[in-house]
Structure 1
Amino acid sequence: MPYLESLRVFVRVVDLGSITAGGRDLRMSPAVASNRIKDLETRFGVRLLNRTTRKLVPTEIGRAFYDSARRVIELLDEAEAVVSGFSGTPHGTIRVTAPLGLGRRLIAPLVPRFCAEYPGVEVRLRLSDRNVDIVADGIDLAFFLGEPKDSALKWRRIADCRRALVAAPSYLATHGTPEAPHDLAQHNCLLLRYPRSPEYYWLLQSKDGPIKMMVNGRFDADDGDVLTDWALAGQGIANRPRYEVAEHLASGALVELLPQFAPIPAQFGMLTPHRRLQDPKLRLFADFAARETRGIFQTGA
């Protein structure tokens, strides 16, 4: 077992690029993770990783060993999944990722409830509005808003996520209320951006079909909740999922703009590597999450 644990540590360290990150992902200290790597290097009498001031890079033999070690870990996980399926008692770890706002509001509350029902399962939730490399980061299930493009992953659609253009009454009192989509060009639009993000636009609905509106703003953020906070503070117009701003719309803290040109809904669903589809604990969690979240979007929040 110590050898297999060392293999897991080595694979995660290479996946995440540092001993600290790899150890944290496996819930062990950097010192313990580092010792696991040293044990492997001592066992084989070779250096597996080159340590620089900025990151860890596998040596040539380390890269070859990583490819084989990863296959071993995947086969072991698959074997455990088969046994779990026959025993009817799922156990093991599920690595889940989701966008920040969606993850906080919808996914995080599900985790304790699911784990209470299946105490043999651990869920490790990572939240980020940035693009995630699901395969390279060892993610089992990724909640996703938008149009998935990776054909190497299995897409399971859950619901359409309706969106709304919103602003605070104080902003509208100072800057006026847009009456048509082209008026947005004269407003401070609060943008969700991240490094290497593409050209920015809002895709709006109309009776004649989609309207692609190029929009601009004086500041942007890579956290959707920050955009909502800025909108509440009267700083501009935000394009937000309706479920995230429903409470503010109901209270009057935010006002919906151009409802006849509402943003085109984004697909909400889950992405899973094909190799993980037969894992019973993953299927259970996916079914549970789909059942619990679908109603939130269908009720028209």
Structure 2
Amino acid sequence: MAYLDNVRTFARVYELGSMSAAARDMRVSAAVASSRISQLEEHLGVRLFQRTTRMLNPTEQGEIFYNGAVRILAAVDEAEAEISEVTENPRGTLYVSAPLGLGQRLVAPAIPQFRQLYPLINVRLRLSDRRLDITAEGLDASFFLGQPEDSSLRIRKIADCPRVLCASPDYIARRGSPRSSSELVDGSHDCLNLRFPGAPEFQWPLQTADGVRRIPVKGPLECDHGEVLTAWALLGQGIALKPVFEVVEHLRSRRLVTVLPKEPPMPVQMACLYSHRRGQDPKTRLFIEFMVAHIQKALAETA
């Protein structure tokens, strides 16, 4: 197993381009990761990486070994998955990601229930509103809202989630309620945008009498954290576009109110992405099936 651990560590260092990043990903210290690479290099009798104080690049031998290493690791993972399926006792570690709002409200609360059913499966959950690269991050499953960018991955649709434009009663008292979507463009109102560095101009797809219009909204506040936008909306800082499940409690308590109810946003797809190989793993299949059922039930309760 020590040799296999060394090969796994090498593969993650190669994929992430950083010893420290690979160490964090594998939950070991940087010293342990470095030692594993050194042991592997000593065993092979070659240098796998060129190291400088600032960079870590694979050598020609490292490139060749990586291509073989991923096939070895895939074969081992497949063999372990087949054993788990035969014994009906799945085990191992799942690496999962989700956006903050979806993860906090729908994914994370269900994980303890999943663990009760499958106590030998460990779950490592990462929450981020940024779209993550499933392959580079070594993820088994990634929940998301919107449309996937990588068509080579498998997608399991969960639901079309209704969205709402909302603001606090204080904001409406001060600025008034917009009468049409054109007021979101002409500067009459402040729109709160979820945007990342380098992202294109943001547009809100609204269902109008003339069909779906993509409104190029603007505002003084932007953030890459969806929960911050909710907090700003609660503080009367502007109008936010949110999935209903993220703000349903605030809407019920009237801390937030619906804006432009006659021109609602288009629903957003909620789905789970996974690679074909990961989807063949019984523990990944079990986790996705469990989460889809749980999330669909939770969404029905917010309707």
TM range (shorter): over 0.9
Alpha carbons of 1:262 and 1:55: their partners in 2 closer, same or farther (altered >3 Å)?
A: farther
Cα deviation for residue 10 of structure 1 reads 1.1
Give the distance between the partners of 1:141 and 1:155, measured in 2 at CA.
10
Map of 2:241 onto structure 1: 239
Deviations along 1:85-117, one digit per CA (max 9) or x if unpaired, are: 111100111111111111111111122221221
Map of 1:152 onto structure 2: 152
Deviates further, 217-226 or 167-176: 167-176
Give the distance between the partners of 2:277 and 2:8, measured in 1 at CA.
18
* One-letter amino acid of the structure 1 residue matched with residue 239 of structure 2: I
Map of 1:215 onto structure 2: 217
Give the distance between the partners of 1:253 and 1:212, measured in 2 at CA.
27
Aligned CA-pair RMSD = 1.4
Alpha carbons of 1:54 and 1:204: their partners in 2 closer, same or farther (altered >3 Å)?
A: farther
Deviates further, 89-98 or 193-202: 193-202
Of 219, 224, 227, the residue aligned with 1:225 is 227
Alpha carbons of 1:25 and 1:41: their partners in 2 closer, same or farther (altered >3 Å)?
A: same
* One-letter amino acid of the structure 2 residue matched with residue 154 of structure 1: R
Give the distance between the partners of 2:272 and 2:233, measured in 1 at CA.
29
* One-letter amino acid of the structure 2 residue matched with residue 221 of structure 1: C
Deviates further, 122-131 or 221-230: 122-131
SS in 2 for 1:147: coil
Map of 2:86 onto structure 1: 86
Alpha carbons of 1:55 and 1:168: their partners in 2 closer, same or farther (altered >3 Å)?
A: farther
TM-score, scaled to structure 2: 0.95
Alpha carbons of 1:55 and 1:247: their partners in 2 closer, same or farther (altered >3 Å)?
A: farther
Map of 1:199 onto structure 2: 201
Map of 1:125 onto structure 2: 125
Cα deviation for residue 55 of structure 1 reads 4.4
Deviates further, 110-119 or 214-223: 110-119
SS in 2 for 1:7: helix
Give the distance between the partners of 1:222 and 1:149, measured in 2 at CA.
18
Question: In 1, are the aligned partners of 2:248 and 2:302 still within 8 Å (CA)?
Answer: no
Alpha carbons of 1:105 and 1:177: their partners in 2 closer, same or farther (altered >3 Å)?
A: same
Give the distance between the partners of 1:130 and 1:136, measured in 2 at CA.
14
Give the distance between the partners of 1:108 and 1:52, measured in 2 at CA.
40
Map of 2:272 onto structure 1: 270
* One-letter amino acid of the structure 2 residue matched with residue 29 of structure 1: S
Q: Which runs of structure 2 are paired with 1:30-179 in the superposition (5 Å)?
A: 30-179=30-179
SS in 2 for 1:143: strand
Question: In 2, are the aligned partners of 1:162 and 1:297 still within 8 Å (CA)?
Answer: no
Question: In 2, are the aligned partners of 1:159 and 1:298 still within 8 Å (CA)?
Answer: no
Deviates further, 21-30 or 251-260: 21-30
**Residue ranges of structure 2 left out of the alignment (5+ in a row):** none
TM-score, scaled to structure 1: 0.95
Question: In 2, are the aligned partners of 1:160 and 1:297 still within 8 Å (CA)?
Answer: no
Cα deviation for residue 207 of structure 1 reads 4.1
Cα deviation for residue 54 of structure 1 reads 4.1
Give the distance between the partners of 1:182 and 1:236, measured in 2 at CA.
16
Cα deviation for residue 20 of structure 1 reads 2.1
* One-letter amino acid of the structure 1 residue matched with residue 154 of structure 2: K
Cα deviation for residue 206 of structure 1 reads 2.6
Map of 1:11 onto structure 2: 11
SS in 2 for 1:238: strand
Q: Identity of aligned pairs, percent?
A: 51
Give the distance between the partners of 1:203 and 1:51, measured in 2 at CA.
48
Give aligned pairs, total: 301
Deviations along 1:31-54, one digit per CA (max 9) or x if unpaired, are: 111111111111122221233444
